[in-house]
Amino acid sequence: MSRSRKMLAALSLAALCAAAVVGGLYVTRGSAGASDASASEATSSSTPSAAGSAGTSTAADVPTTTSAHPTSPEDDGDGTDPESGQTLATDPPVVATAAAVPVKVTFYGWQADQRQVLVGGYVAGIVEDGGTCTLTLTQGGTTVTEQVQATADASSTACGAITVSGDRLAGGTWQAVLSYASGSHAGAAPAVPVEVAL
C-alpha cells in the first residue's frame, strides 16, 4: 500500500474514532439543550412517596394498598435525623421502668385489594411475651376492635400487623388507636386517621 493510502486510512480511522467518542458523549450526557430537571424527574417519579400515596406503597411489611401510611420521623421521633433529637442506632435502647410503656405505630392504612384496615406497630422499652395488642377503630359513636397476641422481639415487643375487615366498617374516616396491655405494662399510641373507601 502506498504511503498516501496509508495516511488516508489512518486519518479515516482517527475520524471514525472521534465520531464514536462524540456520539457516546451525546448519548450519555444528552443534548446540549436538555435540562437536568428531566433527569431529576425520572429519579423522583420512580421513588415512592414516604407518605404512601395511592397505590405506591412498597414496604415489605405492608401489602399494596390505596392509602398505606408509614409513619414519618416527625410523627413519633423514631427516625434517624441526628439534628432533630430523634433516636439513632447508636443511642442506648429505650428501657421502660414504669408500668406505662410507649406504643409506636409503624404503618397504617386502608387496603383496597383486601378491603381491610391494616395497622402495625410495637411497644418500645420492653421485651416480653404474653401481652395483647389491640386496634380500636372509632367513627362517631361506633367502635370496632381487634386483638392479637404480642411477641417478644430483639429489643421491643412486636404487635405485628392487625387487620379489621371492611365488612365491619362503614366508609369514611376512622380514628385508629393501637394499644398494649400485659400483666405489668400498658400503653397506647396517639390516634391516626384511616380513610375507609368502600
> Which domain range does residue 79 map to?
67-196
Any idea what the CATH number is for the domain that residue 134 is in? 2.60.40.10
Question: Average model confidence (pLDDT) for the chain?
Answer: 73
Interatomic CA distance for residues 159 and 150, integer angstroms: 5
Asked if residue 186 has pLDDT above 70, the reply is yes
Residue 111 resides in a domain? yes
Most confident of 28-32, 106-110, 152-156: 106-110
Q: Are 71 and 153 contained in the same domain?
A: yes
Domain for residue 53, yes or no?
no
| Confidence at 94, pLDDT banded by 50, 70, 90 | confident
pLDDT digits (tens, 9 = 90+) for 24-66: 444 444 444 444 443 333 333 333 333 333 333 333 444 444 4
Of residues 55 and 88, more confidence is placed in 88
